[in-house]
Amino acid sequence: DAGVTQSPTHLIKTRGQQVTLRCSPKSGHDTVSWYQQALGQGPQFIFQYYEEEERQRGNFPDRFSGHQFPNYSSELNVNALLLGDSALYLCASSLQRRERGTQYFGPGTRLLVL
Amino acid sequence: DQQVKQNSPSLSVQEGRISILNCDYTNSMFDYFLWYKKYPAEGPTFLISISSIKDKNEDGRFTVFLNKSAKHLSLHIVPSQPGDSAVYFCAARDLTSGTYKYIFGTGTRLKVLA
The 10s digit of each residue's pLDDT in B46-100 is 999 999 999 999 999 999 999 999 999 999 999 999 999 999 999 999 877 777 7
Q: If contacts are CB pairs under 8 Å, which of residues 61-80 in chain B contact chain A? A: none
B25 has pLDDT over 90: yes
Q: Which of residues 81-110 of A touch B (CB under 8 A)?
A: 90, 92, 96, 100-108
Could you tell me if A80 and A18 are in contact, meaning their C-beta atoms sit under 8 angstroms apart?
Answer: yes
Tell me the residue ranges of DSSP E strands in A41-108: 44-50, 53-57, 64-68, 74-78, 87-94, 104-105
Mean pLDDT of chain B: 93
Report the amino acid identity of residue A73. S
Contact A40 B43 (CB under 8 A): no
**So what's the pLDDT on residue A99?**
59
Partner A contacted by B48 (CB < 8 A): no
Task: Nearest chain A residue to B1 by CA: give it.
Answer: A59
High-pLDDT (> 70) share of chain B, %:
96
Rounded to an integer, the average pLDDT of A38-59 is: 91
Q: What is the pLDDT of residue A103?
A: 87
Q: Distance between CA A103 and CA A29 in Å, rounded?
A: 10
Distance from C-alpha of B9 to C-alpha of A111, rounded to nearest angstrom: 24
Chains A, B: CB pairs < 8 Å: 62
| Chain B environment of A35 (Cβ under 8 Å) | 104
pLDDT given at position B37: 96
Residue A13 confidence (pLDDT): 97
Whether A3 and B65 have beta carbons less than 8 Å apart is answered as no
CA distance B99 to A91: 17
Q: Distance, in angstroms, between A12 CA and closest chain B CA?
A: 16
For residue range A51-102, list pLDDT tens digits in order. Answer: 999 988 999 999 999 999 999 999 999 999 999 999 999 999 988 776 566 8
